[in-house]
Structure 1
Amino acid sequence: MSSSTPDRDSQGRKKQVSSRRSDNRTRKLKEEIDQLKTGLLREKRRAERFRKRLQSLRNTKHKATSKKNTANGFRKAAANRRSVVEFLTRDENSRLLPGKKDTVSQNKVRVQRCVLTKSLKELYKDYKPKASDRNTCACIDHENVKLLLERIHQSGLIGSKSISDALIQIVCDVKNKKCMFRQCATCCYSEIEAALPQNPGLVTWQQWERERVCSEGKTFSHFVKRALTGTWEDLLKSFNEKLDALAKHQYIWIHQVEQCRALKNSLQDHEVVVHMDFSENYACKLNVEVQSFHFGGSRKQATIHTCMVYKSGMSQAYATISDSLRHDERAVWAHLKPVLDDILSDTAITTLHFMSDGPLTQYRNRKNFYLMCTLPFLRGIKEITWNFSEKAHGKGAPDGVGGSIKRSADAFVHQGGDIQGPQELFSFLEKSSSTVKFKWIAEDDIVRVDEAVPNALPVVKGTLGIHQITTDTPGKMCHREVSCFCLRLGLQCECGSPSLFDFHSGNAASSTSSTTSTTTEDLVGKMVIVSYDKKPFVGQVQNVVGEEIEVSCMQQIGKKNNFVWPQVSDVIHYFNSDVKAIIAEPEPSTSRSSKLSDEDWDTFVST
């Protein structure tokens, strides 16, 4: 019994020691676990800090990238917007409305409105980066072809109603002058062919036509929009004939616009472009008018001649106001004098480029040609060009200037002001905050220019077909059908077969080709001086048949500048060579008789 007790004690001690060791190991393990938990928590917190920092860096980079992309997007959108606006406001794609009410406000800035001359589909095709206004200045040639084309397209015979697409089908290249002038041997006889309807019958279409009206012995021309009826063959024949004639007109229009735009964009320091036009006369008005003034003949009118001057890197608008209602070529140079005085204060200017539309009574006539070949040289100018736009396509920046001036004057009257005459209009405009520079033209200024024009000047043949005149020698000029600026350091180039003319000799000088022929189709309805049995007669062109012109002549009373329309029409056919001059409409001198202008009377006497 005694021997077993120590064994039990030793076993108990062993168990206690083992238990203490186990507790120590457990405690150490718990401590290690706690340390690991603490370390893990610390690492988690550290990882969270790194995660947040990484996320912050990512967000910052994303914001910077997003901001950069947004800025780039805005810049690209602004650049595209400017590109589209520049494209749409080109002269061949739109035209400025000249009316004083034709405005639109953008960011509280009032600007002149523009009207597109083509459909958006056509413009979209012409736009290189990626492929309902009332029009009162439409071109009759384009409008008639458009009416025919729309009628044919409506019937399904032609897939497109675009004039440009129609021209592409009949010419090799719309940029080629020979093709568009119908002189190309390959395409000169091309025309649009269309399958006629299975049940052909009568068809109706609309056209603008000239209507002659006789009243009190006088013949007047009016334009009316008529509905014509015929067969489908008649419709297609008329369309092909008018489209064929339109090709030349279209080429000159686009070519003149492109050449003038290229000139403005590449001006050198010694060059200036002067784009001009007469604005419609402003009818002076008062805030409160008595009835007899409003409906009577007491209202005065003011002549407004507007110019846009372009230099290298800048432009400036000018407007000259006058109480003289003359719009002839001598009045033009009187209105140009103060503008040229301001321009030529810069002695570095040696080349002048004039741009205008082509009315025969204002810019495109021999007296204006003569003045252009003489007056600028007296001011030290060495080279001059005058570029005419194609008929019915002469609207531009000067028309917008005129509309802005009239709008400002009307706003002044509506606010209680009075503009009773041209002088009051000029005084108001001169004191206004407009950026346009205003000049006053007196009647004496025009009379002084009258003295610079000889009584008799030689006739420049082919005046109606001239679209550019250049001169670098006083009294001599070179003219061509379309403008060309390929030789910027010298005006004379061989492009377009130019013709030379010398005012001193009165004959066409030696030239590279024959003189441009007059477009006889444009004579219909115009007043002319014709020669019959070596005597001059004044008349109105009624019709053109081949090389003959049908003219209804007036009767001269005695040997004075007094003409009347006879009771029985005096209609005779003349040859083209019998037409000596194109003149302005005679002005009424009495209730029945009329008189020619001084210039036309001098031409009549010298014929």
Structure 2
Amino acid sequence: MDFRRKVLKNNPALQGEFEIYENINELVNETVCKTSENVDKLKCLQRNCDICGVHNFKLPEEEKTDNLNMSNVQWERYEYVNLKRGSKSIRKLMLVKKSTKPFEMFSYFIQILRTFPYHQFSTSWQSDQLRSLLDNLPHNHCVTVNDYSESYRCFDKTEIQTGYFQKIEVSLHVTFLYRHAILEVDGIESSVDNPVIIKEEFFVISEDDKRDQYFTHYVKKSVSEYLHEISYTPKVMHEFNDGCATQYKSLHCFGHLATTFSDLGYDSIIRNFFETAHAKGAQDAAGGYIKREADFSVIRGRSSIQNGKDLFNFCNNNLQKPKSTGCKRRIFRYVETIPRNTTQHFKSIADIRKIHCVRTTNNSELMVSDLSCYTCDQCVSANYELCRNFRFRGNSRPVKIVREHSTENHTVENNNSGDTLLDLISKGTIIAVVAEDDDSDFDLMKTLGEPEILPTAVTDGWGISFPRGANVVKGYYYDIVSKRNFSYKLVPKRLAINYSVSARYILTESEITKSENSIKLNEEIHMNVLAALDYI
């Protein structure tokens, strides 16, 4: 809104005609009908309403004219950028600087404003479904929340210069496992009258760097074997994943799910997807804690972690028992390489990116829907045809899984690079990091750039020292102005450095209220940050 402020300042007559919006939510509300009826609201959010829409966002002439004589404006937008990391090329979502005419900036903004309201609704809806399922988990059911953490980069406390450039990176897959308590394992028995849900963190460690559907299937097989070991035999497995194409959400992932789910011993698997770019948080925090403890152990000379097996042994010997009551235990598994059957391929599925719920059947067919539903008692009881939320969820529709007879080595197009939380950090990102001070739950930090590897030892403006080779993020802290109102003010002249794995949550523009060097959170966002910190 900085450009609009300048326009209105130069044209006082326009000040009563055009709004200055303080945040994205105010602007979105201007483009949808003001109604409390969810069904009508959904029609508005999907931009199918004849009354509301982006046309309600009025633009002065300076913002919509394609005049080449207008001065350029500086702005930023997220784009996927191809980067080289050693011999590999990766696709990373980054904040890219732009210098264009105002018309181009506002045209792009209107373009994303058309889809943002429904994206925001879907984000909230999918998260609500997970919470509702955990509150009402049927017996003989199990829930997993899955994601990859940033790879662990092995290093040595006394490494020589040549070793500094030849680091082994270890893949770390994180699964949050929710199930009913078993007396023999947990010391308490869950019952219908007294349900007790156990949360466990399940980690698969490997030097295999191919994060594909074969890796995630191996994880699911390992989880199934663990449940069998403790004599917990769920009939239905509910998965919640991000939308990464190569790992969970592609034609080959769906084909693999339909043809192999019975091997895991379940009657059915229901795979749910969080909205794009909203699956990060607690899983990254759990993985970050593992890497942070490993780093500290190496730095203090207590351990030597040179490969995946070393990391597994360290975790298995030291980190199985969490300190908090939120997690019952941590389970670690190690595999050197993932077995793959690269000759198995399947035909494409229409509108696959819109699908947020997939349910297996017994005849190589999947039932898919736009959104999940667990807030309806009929869906929790598997009476899906009687769903009370079908207007939001969308109608379930069958998808036939058809094998493709080909010996070619197909490559899945990665429309979503599966970025971890650290991949999304760039200049100006506001992150929540683990607080070293016992008086604070977390610190907020405005970053100066992407995470980096320190070429030399360094001490920040707060007197904290970091060794050469440490993976860190630099920036400035926000000081707490009011704990009651969750308001903070930037401390801009005192450089702060944190280990990258201390980052737990990224605050987006829609989650904060900004004014110059100050920001303010609402209570819901504050609680989301605290939830991401529940990792010890």
TM > 0.5: yes
Aligned to 2:245: 360
Aligned to 1:305: 173
1:321 and 2:210 aligned: no
Q: 1:418 aligns with which of 274, 293, 304?
A: 304
**Residue correspondence of structure 1 range 470-549 to structure 2 within 5 A:** 470-485=359-374, 486=376, 487-490=379-382, 492-493=384-385, 495=390, 496-504=394-402
User: How much has 1:343 moved relative to structure 2?
Assistant: 2.6
Is the 2:205–2:312 contact (alpha carbons within 8 Å) kept by the matching residues of 1? yes
**Residue correspondence of structure 1 range 234-245 to structure 2 within 5 A:** 237-245=107-115
Is the 1:335–1:441 contact (alpha carbons within 8 Å) kept by the matching residues of 2? no
The one-letter code sitting in structure 1 at the alignment partner of 2:139 is D
2 CA distance for matches of 1:524 and 1:367?
A: 15
Structure 1: 4+ residue segments shifted above 6 A: 211-215, 218-222, 522-526
Aligned-residue sequence identity (percent) comes to 22
Normalization by structure 2: what TM-score? 0.59
1 CA distance for matches of 2:353 and 2:80?
A: 23
Question: Any idea what SS the aligned residue of 2:211 has?
Answer: coil
Q: 2:4 aligns with which of 142, 149, 152?
A: 152
User: How much has 1:426 moved relative to structure 2?
Assistant: 0.8
2 CA distance for matches of 1:222 and 1:347?
A: 40
Q: 1:337 aligns with which of 221, 232, 242?
A: 221
The one-letter code sitting in structure 1 at the alignment partner of 2:332 is F
Q: How far does the alpha carbon of each residue in 1:430-463 deviate from its partner, in whole angstroms, 9 at most, with x for none?
A: 11043321111232xx31xx34x76331211222
| Number of residue equivalences | 353
Question: Any idea what SS the aligned residue of 1:473 has?
Answer: coil
Aligned to 1:162: 23
The one-letter code sitting in structure 2 at the alignment partner of 1:167 is V
Structure 1: gaps (5+ residues): 1-148, 507-519, 527-607
Q: How far does the alpha carbon of each residue in 1:25-58 deviate from its partner, in whole angstroms, 9 at most, with x for none?
A: xxxxxxxxxxxxxxxxxxxxxxxxxxxxxxxxxx
Bigger Cα displacement from structure 2, 329-338 vs 398-407: 329-338
Taking a change above 3 Å as real, the CA distance of residues 294 and 380 of structure 1, as seen in their structure-2 partners, is: closer
Question: Any idea what SS the aligned residue of 1:374 has?
Answer: helix
The one-letter code sitting in structure 2 at the alignment partner of 1:308 is F
Is the 1:470–1:491 contact (alpha carbons within 8 Å) kept by the matching residues of 2? no
Question: Any idea what SS the aligned residue of 1:381 has?
Answer: coil
Q: How far does the alpha carbon of each residue in 1:286-345 deviate from its partner, in whole angstroms, 9 at most, with x for none?
A: 1211221112x3x22211111111224221111111122221101111122222222344
Q: How far does the alpha carbon of each residue in 1:262-304 deviate from its partner, in whole angstroms, 9 at most, with x for none?
A: 2222212222110011111111111211221112x3x222111
Aligned to 2:73: 204
Question: Any idea what SS the aligned residue of 2:346 has?
Answer: coil
Q: 1:178 aligns with which of 43, 53, 61?
A: 43
User: How much has 1:214 moved relative to structure 2?
Assistant: 12
**Residue correspondence of structure 1 range 113-512 to structure 2 within 5 A:** 149=1, 151-152=3-4, 157-172=18-33, 173=35, 175=38, 176-188=41-53, 190-193=55-58, 202=71, 204-208=73-77, 210=79, 225-230=96-101, 237-295=107-165, 297=166, 299-312=167-180, 313-344=197-228, 345-416=230-301, 417-435=303-321, 436-443=330-337, 446-447=338-339, 450-451=340-341, 455-485=344-374, 486=376, 487-490=379-382, 492-493=384-385, 495=390, 496-504=394-402
Structure 2: gaps (5+ residues): 9-14, 181-196, 322-329, 405-412, 419-536
Is the 1:151–1:205 contact (alpha carbons within 8 Å) kept by the matching residues of 2? no
Question: Any idea what SS the aligned residue of 2:147 has?
Answer: strand
Question: Any idea what SS the aligned residue of 1:320 has?
Answer: strand
More helix by share: 1
Question: Any idea what SS the aligned residue of 1:279 has?
Answer: strand
Question: Any idea what SS the aligned residue of 2:143 has?
Answer: strand
Which is bigger in relative contact order (C-alpha 8 A, separation at least 6)?
A: 2
User: How much has 1:406 moved relative to structure 2?
Assistant: 0.1
The one-letter code sitting in structure 2 at the alignment partner of 1:475 is S
The one-letter code sitting in structure 1 at the alignment partner of 2:314 is F
The one-letter code sitting in structure 2 at the alignment partner of 1:226 is K
Normalization by structure 1: what TM-score? 0.52
2 CA distance for matches of 1:183 and 1:243?
A: 14
The one-letter code sitting in structure 1 at the alignment partner of 2:4 is I
2 CA distance for matches of 1:431 and 1:389?
A: 33
2 CA distance for matches of 1:323 and 1:524?
A: 22
Q: Which has the larger radius of gyration?
A: 1
Q: Pairwise CA RMSD of aligned residues?
A: 3.5
